[in-house]
């Protein structure tokens, strides 16, 4: 068998004939329509989507406000040279600046989260004159070179060298203490120890630290109270810029408008993506005027063909309008509390659930083979996830070396939809030995 040969696989369905696989296997049903919290398959099945279209359909699938924004762009202007701006680009930049604290008032509109993080990293390098970028074990920031170099959740193997100067801190996982010290309470020793290691291995060129307010792909890891305040102190002491990647926590999902609000720490640079586009590719990098001016003086360049696209700016404005008009930040807090209570009920009935954690409508359910030893439930999570899909519920698997469900329905989800989803999970655990 050559290095390019693999073991025999089952014959794929005909629709996969010309599709290049880029991760996990495709679901075996074609989706022909989506609306609100539901997906509809070619066979007519209604499937509750508790992944929000991989965290992007914040205000529900195919929201009328997004459809109208797209139609308006079709009647006016869809795309321009990236040196030209439309009134909607200006309006969205002003709107985002108005939602954030005063230092964060300079906006570049881009497409994906990876692209926004790439721009943030380039901003940090050109303004500090340094090149080392610190990430976290369990982080996910994208698949472009710089973003991928600071992504540690998965996707690092077999791609050769990463960007020079890529450093990492332990993930603040209170359920699985990375330094095997904290049991019932955390004294932030993992963070202090992590910076001791950074000081030991850095060449003294630390430019920035990139962090998610809640690690998502890493397993819905919520840092303990005070963590980001201590992190800010460590960064300030060393002159390191702090970048918050709010791709999945921004614009209401956690029950606050932005994830950083829980600890009251304002970053030097903030990136948005998934929740801003409502299902379409839109992202933003937001920095202070002082940092933006220093970058410009030093020759900052981050051209892309679709920077400042009018179509996407119209969509972003529509998403922000709906979130504010319909009180979806408050709704995420309320529905998130209800959903978390229902998931804790499940934990009480099924010993395969080791932990339930998260904030707002970004929750994690960690599945274990043994609750005492906390051995990951690798053999269980696949079949249970597949059974949920068969029963009409879509959830994402995350967690890297661990087995975690990411539970993240649209912010428009109803109590009835939550109850239906929990009933499906309950049945799947009962049927497949997860009790």
The enclosing domain of 309 has a CATH number of 3.40.640.10
Query: Annotated catalytic, 294?
Result: no
User: For residue 434, what pLDDT is reported?
Assistant: 57
CA distance 333 to 160: 42
Last residue of a domain, one of 305, 325, 345: 325
Active-site pick, 132, 357, 406, 417: 406
Q: What angle do CA 415, 418, 423 make, to 5 degrees?
A: 125
What local confidence, expressed as pLDDT, does residue 154 receive?
Answer: 84
Q: Residue 7's pLDDT is what?
A: 46
- The boundaries of the domain holding residue 418 are 14-59+327-431
Residue 420 burial (CB count, 10 A): 15
In a domain, 8, yes or no: no
pLDDT tens string 214-255: 999 999 999 999 999 999 999 999 999 999 999 999 999 999
pLDDT at 155: 85
Catalytic annotation, pick one of 206, 212, 309, 417: 212
> Please, what is the end-to-end C-alpha distance for the chain in angstroms?
42
* The token pair that represents 157 in the structure block: 């193997």
261: tokens are 């609000």
**Annotated active-site residue in 215, 248, 309, 331:** 248
Closest alpha carbon to 181 in 141, 150, 224: 224
Q: In whole angstroms, what is the distance from residue 350 CA to residue 345 CA?
A: 9
Residue with tokens 């000081």: 199
Q: How far apart are CA 186 and CA 264, in angstroms?
A: 19
Residue 4 belongs to a domain:
no
pLDDT at 12: 61
Q: Are residues 293 and 236 in the same domain?
A: yes
Nearest to 419 by CA among 343, 366, 315: 343
In a domain, 132, yes or no: yes
Residues 307 and 337 grouped into a single domain: no
Residue 28 in domain: yes
Domain boundary pick from 325, 343, 360? 325
Q: Dihedral, CA atoms, 254, 257, 263, 265, nearest 10 degrees?
A: 140
| Same domain, residue pair 136 and 242 | yes
What pLDDT is stored for residue 2 in this prediction?
40
Q: Do 178 and 308 have their domain in common? A: yes
pLDDT tens digits, residue range 105-139? 999 999 999 999 999 999 999 999 999 999 999 99
Report the candidate in 399, 36, 63 with the shortest Cα–Cα distance to residue 221: 399
Residue 114 zone, left/alpha/beta (φ > 0; ψ -120 to 50; rest): alpha
Count structural domains, the chain. Answer: 2
The residue from 325, 358, 388 where one domain ends is 325
For residues 140 and 147, what is the distance between their CA atoms, to the nearest angstrom?
8
Q: Does residue 307 share a domain with residue 190?
A: yes
Give a yes or no: residue 2 inside a domain. no
Assigned domain for 3 exists:
no
- 352 and 227 in a single domain? The answer is no
Q: How far apart are CA 71 and CA 67, in angstroms?
A: 6
Q: Spot the catalytic one: 106, 274, 342, 357.
A: 274
Q: Is 347 tagged catalytic?
A: no
363 close to 341: Cβ distance less than 8 angstroms: no
Is 274 an active-site residue?
yes
Predicted local confidence at residue 1, as pLDDT: 37
Indicate whether 319 and 351 sit together in one domain.
no
The set of residues, in sequence order, having a beta carbon less than 8 Å from that of 328 and lying 6+ positions away, is: 58, 59, 252, 322, 411, 412
Shared-domain flag, residues 54 and 75: no
333 and 320 in a common domain: no
Q: Which of 115, 245, 246, 366 is catalytic?
A: 245
Residues 74 and 101 in one domain: yes
Residue 203 lies in a domain: yes
7 lies in some domain: no
- pTM for the whole thing? 0.93
Read off the CATH number of the domain in which 385 is found. 3.90.1150.10
Dig out the tokens for 252 from the structure: 């209401």
Instruction: For the chain, list residues with pLDDT below 70.
Output: 1-12, 183-184, 433-435
251 and 391 housed in the same domain? no
Same domain for 177 and 29: no
E strand or H helix at 429? helix 415-431
pLDDT of residue 183: 63
The secondary element (H helix, E strand) that includes residue 359 is strand 353-359
- Residue of 106, 140, 309, 359 with catalytic role: 140
């Amino acid at each position: 068998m050559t290095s390019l040969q693999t073991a025999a696989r089952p014959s794929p369905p005909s629709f996969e004939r010309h599709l290049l696989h880029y991760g996990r296997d495709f679901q075996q049903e074609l989706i022909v329509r989506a609306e609100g919290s539901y997906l509809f398959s070619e066979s007519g099945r209604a499937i509750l989507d508790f992944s929000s279209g991989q965290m992007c359909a914040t205000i529900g699938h195919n929201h009328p406000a997004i459809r109208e924004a797209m139609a308006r762009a079709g009647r006016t202007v869809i795309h321009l040279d990236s040196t030209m701006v439309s009134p909607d680009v200006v309006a969205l930049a002003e709107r985002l600046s108005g939602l954030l604290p005063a230092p964060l008032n300079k906006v570049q509109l881009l497409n994906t989260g990876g692209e926004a993080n790439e721009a943030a990293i380039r901003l940090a390098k050109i303004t500090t004159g340094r090149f080392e970028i610190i990430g976290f074990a369990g982080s996910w920031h994208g698949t472009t070179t710089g973003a991928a170099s600071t992504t540690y959740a998965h996707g690092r193997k077999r791609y050769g060298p990463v960007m020079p100067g890529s450093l990492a801190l332990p993930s603040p996982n209170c359920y699985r203490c990375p330094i095997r010290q904290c049991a019932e309470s955390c004294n932030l020793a993992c963070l202090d120890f992590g910076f001791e290691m950074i000081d030991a291995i850095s060449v003294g060129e630390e430019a920035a630290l990139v962090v998610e307010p809640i690690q998502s792909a890493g397993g819905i890891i919520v840092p303990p109270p005070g963590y980001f305040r201590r992190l800010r102190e460590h960064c300030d002491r060393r002159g390191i810029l702090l970048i918050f990647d709010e791709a999945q926590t921004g614009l209401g999902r956690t029950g606050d408008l932005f994830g950083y609000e829980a600890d009251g720490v304002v970053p030097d640079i903030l990136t948005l993506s998934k929740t801003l586009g409502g299902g379409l590719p839109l992202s933003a990098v937001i920095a202070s005027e002082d940092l933006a001016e220093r970058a410009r003086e030093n020759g900052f360049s981050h051209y892309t063909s679709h920077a400042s696209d009018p179509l996407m700016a119209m969509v972003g404005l529509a998403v922000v309008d709906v979130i504010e008009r319909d009180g979806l930040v408050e709704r995420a807090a309320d529905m998130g509390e209800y959903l978390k209570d229902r998931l804790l009920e499940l934990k009480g009935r099924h010993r395969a659930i080791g932990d339930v954690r998260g904030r707002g409508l970004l929750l994690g359910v960690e599945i274990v083979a043994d609750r005492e030893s906390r051995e990951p439930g690798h053999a269980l999570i696949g079949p249970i996830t597949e059974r949920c899909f068969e029963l009409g519920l879509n959830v994402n698997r995350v967690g890297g070396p661990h087995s975690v469900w990411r539970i993240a329905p649209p912010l428009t989800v109803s109590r009835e939809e939550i109850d239906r989803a929990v009933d499906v999970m309950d049945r799947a655990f009962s049927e497949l030995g997860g009790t």
